[in-house]
Amino acid sequence: MPIPTYQEVMLPLLRVLGAANEEMHQRDCTQRVAEALNLTEAERQERLPSGSQTYIHNRCGWAGWYMQQAGLVEKPRRAHLRITDEGRRVLGTHPATIDNDFLATYPSFREKVIEARPRNDGDDGGNAEPPGAPAAVASTLTPTDQIEQAHARLDQTLVTELLELMARMDAYKFEQLVLDLLVAMGYGGSRSEAAKVTQKSNDEGIDGTIHQDRLGLDVIYVQAKRWQAIIGREQIQNFVGALAGKHAQKGVFITTSDFNANAVNYARTVQHKIILINGQRLAELMIEYGVGVSTVRTIALKRVDSDYFEDA
Same domain for 90 and 24: yes
Average pLDDT of the chain, as a whole number: 83
Boundaries of domain holding 28: 6-140
Q: Per the domain annotation, does 231 fall within a domain?
A: yes
Are residues 242 and 221 in contact, defined by beta-carbon separation less than 8 angstroms? Answer: yes
The predicted-structure confidence for 191-239, as pLDDT tens digits, reads as follows 665 556 554 444 445 677 787 776 667 888 889 899 889 999 999 999 9
Of 10, 19, 27, nearest to 96 by C-alpha is: 10
Provide the pLDDT for residue 130.
34
Kindly report the pTM of this predicted structure. Answer: 0.62
Same domain for 135 and 16: yes
Q: Per the domain annotation, does 147 fall within a domain?
A: no
DSSP letters along 105-168, please? TSHHHIIIIITTS---TT-TTS-SPPTT-GGGG--SS-HHHHHHHHHHHHHHHHHHHHHHHHHT
Residue 102 sits in a domain of what CATH number?
1.10.10
Q: Per the domain annotation, does 50 fall within a domain?
A: yes
Same domain for 180 and 136: no
Please state the domain count of the chain: 2
Same domain for 97 and 194: no
Q: Per the domain annotation, does 242 fall within a domain?
A: yes
Residue 229 sits in a domain of what CATH number?
3.40.1350.10
Q: How many CA atoms lie within 13 A of 55 on its CB side?
A: 23
Same domain for 180 and 89: no
The predicted-structure confidence for 242-258, as pLDDT tens digits, reads as follows 999 888 889 999 999 99
Same domain for 12 and 117: yes
Same domain for 277 and 192: yes
Same domain for 211 and 130: no
Domain boundary residue among 119, 140, 161?
Answer: 140
Q: Per the domain annotation, does 31 fall within a domain?
A: yes
Q: Per the domain annotation, does 127 fall within a domain?
A: yes
Q: Per the domain annotation, does 131 fall within a domain?
A: yes
Same domain for 269 and 180: yes
Provide the pLDDT for residue 210.
80
Q: Per the domain annotation, does 110 fall within a domain?
A: yes
Domain boundary residue among 121, 140, 159?
Answer: 140
